[in-house]
Structure 1
Amino acid sequence: MKVLISGTAGAGGWPARGCGCASCLRLSPGRRRPAEVVLLSGHDTSPASLDDRSVRLPLANPALQDHETSPGTARLPAGYRVSTGPDGLVLTTPGGHRILYAAPPAGLPALPGDGESADRPSPEHPGRPDGGRAVFDLVLMDVLDRPERLGGLRRRGAVTDRTHVVAVHIDHRVPTEAELARRAALWGVRAVPDGTVLDLGEPAPARAPLPRRTLLLGGARSGKSAEAELRLATEPRVRYVATGPSGDGDAEWDRRVRAHRERRPAHWETSETTDLAGLVRSTDIPLLVDGLGTWVAAVFDECDAWSGGDGLDAVAARCDELVTAWRRPGARVVAVSDEVGLGVVPATSSGRMFRDTLGRLNRRLARESEEVTLVVAGRLLPLPL
């Protein structure tokens, strides 16, 4: 089964006509057309070869009248089945290939007598089910909206390494094609150009290997936490490590913590601990550590180190333990830390001790990391060796 991805953008295309935003002005007109796919019936994939048996799905305007009608076109040929479910619209071809248009359920009509759940095994397709779940051959998804939905599909086994995941509804929510390609690589998604033909009989290209240890540095409100969350957004399982204090009546801090919690995907796990070295060593799922600055502050409290002396030696030992664990993590780790060396010299001795300790820790972890990036005003500045 071959599929022609004839368009990949949102309803207005990208760039959108008449839009003056920086993203649209960077691109030449007509770069990406409104999203549309064509299920091809023959071996010839040229536009002139499309016949009545080809199924055209204009995804930029999803509307179904009944089970046998594709969006905006004539009735589906015999043998195709379509239904809506919690993940979106599911199309099963006569050969048993399963295609998911992962639009939010609210954006699709409720079809009478839906005959197929997105999670039901497909007996007519060899090699399924996978762990009791039906696996999709192709997923068409607006990953710029809620990339964590892809993580949920992977968690349930509905998307595997063989699944072609293609980004659609692409538009000026992403600043450049280069940034789109970067996110696609992080998420294991294909950001294909218009006119691409996919063969669903072939597995998707192998996902590029990702850094095992990533350190993201930045100042306050630089976007470093949002970037860390973006990097792990489509993973099936993630453990978020909150190293800061709970707040203890500080209303402003409580609002900050609540905002972070609400931004994280619902299926992520959370650990509130200062035993960071133990967690890095033992984890079997990706970790997001946010952040090292609050961890150092908490360790200073635990070691009674703000006045120096033996407490400061205990803090140094805890940092040594973390660096040792960082060299051999149990799984992928993305950590956020404050870049504290660019401001004025702190006025207090305790402030200077904190700055020096965190600065040394950042330097040591950076030396042991495959990727280190400075985040400034939401822009990424890679720091190569």
Structure 2
Amino acid sequence: MELTLLGTGGPEGLPVPDCPCAACALATGAGARGATSVLVDGVVLLDLVPGAALAAARAGRTLGGLRLVLLSHPHDGPPVEIPPGLPAPARVPDGRELSVLTGHRVRAVATDALGTGYEVESPEGLRALYLPPGCAPAGLADNGNHAADRAVAPYDLVLLDLVGRPDALARLRAAGAVAGTTDVVAVHLGHDAPPGPELGRRLAALGARAVPDGTTLAVGDYRDVPDLPRRTLVLGGARSGKSAEAERRLAAFPDVLYVATGGTREGDAEWAARVSAHRERRPASWRTVETCDLVPLLADASGPPLLVDCLSLWLTHVMDAAGAWEDATWRGGGAAAVEAGIDALGAAWRATRRTVVGVSNEVGSGVVPATPAGRRFRDALGRLNAAVAAESEHVLLTVAGLSLPLR
């Protein structure tokens, strides 16, 4: 089964007309995208958009053999001239199945927002799922965790709004509808998507990809499925966006364990507000544990992905426990205790079989601390960051909300 993406953009396309934003300004050449429309083996069209016949011709396809034209959006959209000879566009009620003379089967999939998704099955049994913008599937079973309406086998290909709804991919993974061999492709890409290579980098971290308009995808061809990094370190200064970047990298995974190393601070209202803001932006399915005992968590291969925020607060805890802020204690064994703690964490990071994203501060580029204790912390954090980075597949430096890949 082959799916030709006549367009991969949001409902207004990209660039959006008369929009002055940076994403639209950079959407030129292969970065320009028409509204998403998908042609399946030349016989089924998912979403009829302006210029569909021309887009098909540019992709080396024709709409002359169409047997079925289906709409997914919650409205019919802007007036579209239906090319002569095309079937009338239709919307299918949730759960209804249609059979095509070519042997294809189409089932309407319920979503949690206005719109209709479609599951398409080829005569050979290959299966693809297409979801409209802003939608996640409804009624999927969570394998082993909760009772639900319907469990599904893994799809071969999934097309969805990953920028707007990364949690949709998390739901599909939790239900077993997306597995390691599923090709996940982002569509409905508008000017809320990051421009240029940044889009590809973010999607790859989720195990997905984007392709230009006119691309034909061979369902069942898994060669382009990105390999997910097991260990990622996100570095950055204060308010650089490092925590948001780390959370974004796991937004499409269910049951993430958020490891908060800062704990609570009695009587500190400002710190409590910071912690609350972090919690509110996390997906509801994530769990949180407040601990600095990271080695056992990293050693538990059966657990869900970890997000550790942050390693600099973990180091503060280690130095507190060793009494390393005092000069005499530092010389009398505190330095060795801190070094041993860093070595143990580095070894656990190296040996872990869990997916883990760690956050840490990059403090070595500023003013030299005025106190010996401050300089010790700066130096120890530099060694910690280097030790963890050496054992990470991906290392990012976040500056002014932008993440620069170092590895």
Q: Is the pair's TM-score, using the shorter chain for normalization, greater than 0.5? A: yes
Alignment map for 1:1-385 (pairs within 5 Å): 1-28=1-28, 31-41=32-42, 46-57=60-71, 61-63=73-75, 73-74=89-90, 78-79=98-99, 80-86=106-112, 89-93=116-120, 95=123, 97=127, 99-101=129-131, 103-104=133-134, 118-119=140-141, 132-200=151-219, 202-205=220-223, 207-284=225-302, 285-308=304-327, 309=329, 310-383=333-406
1:52 Cα deviation after fit: 4.4
Distance 2:254 2:5 in 1: 26
Taking only the aligned residue pairs, the percentage that are identical comes to: 46
Distance 1:203 1:40 in 2: 15
Letter in 1 for 2:349: W
Cα deviation code 1:54-95 (max 9, x no counterpart): 4254x5x4438xxxxxx9814779524424244863434475
Question: TM-score scaled to structure 1, two decimals?
Answer: 0.81
> How many residue pairs align between the two structures?
358
1:311 Cα deviation after fit: 3.7
Q: Look up the match of 1:126.
A: none
1:166 Cα deviation after fit: 2.4
Is the CA contact (8 Å cut-off) linking 1:217 and 1:339 kept in structure 2? yes
Q: What secondary structure does 2:110 align onto? A: strand
Distance 2:183 2:397 in 1: 32
1:2 Cα deviation after fit: 3.4
Q: What secondary structure does 1:48 align onto? A: coil
Is the CA contact (8 Å cut-off) linking 1:8 and 1:34 kept in structure 2? yes
Distance 2:33 2:381 in 1: 45
Is the CA contact (8 Å cut-off) linking 2:257 and 2:289 kept in structure 1? yes
Is the CA contact (8 Å cut-off) linking 1:216 and 1:373 kept in structure 2? yes
Is the CA contact (8 Å cut-off) linking 1:63 and 1:72 kept in structure 2? no
- After superposition, the Cα gap between the structure-2 partners of 1:340 and 1:17, relative to the gap in structure 1 and judged at 3 Å, is same
- After superposition, the Cα gap between the structure-2 partners of 1:372 and 1:28, relative to the gap in structure 1 and judged at 3 Å, is closer
Unaligned runs of 5+ in 1: 65-70, 109-115, 122-130
Cα deviation code 1:126-172 (max 9, x no counterpart): xxxxx953444443321111313212210111222343422122012
- After superposition, the Cα gap between the structure-2 partners of 1:101 and 1:157, relative to the gap in structure 1 and judged at 3 Å, is same
Is the CA contact (8 Å cut-off) linking 1:161 and 1:204 kept in structure 2? no
Letter in 2 for 1:89: T
Letter in 1 for 2:38: V
Question: TM-score scaled to structure 2, two decimals?
Answer: 0.77
Distance 2:379 2:181 in 1: 48
Cα deviation code 1:259-309 (max 9, x no counterpart): 111222222232211111222223433322111111111222233332141
1:9 Cα deviation after fit: 0.8
1:339 Cα deviation after fit: 0.9
Distance 2:129 2:228 in 1: 27
Distance 1:41 1:270 in 2: 48
Is the CA contact (8 Å cut-off) linking 2:2 and 2:40 kept in structure 1? yes
Letter in 1 for 2:289: S
Alpha-carbon RMSD: 3.3
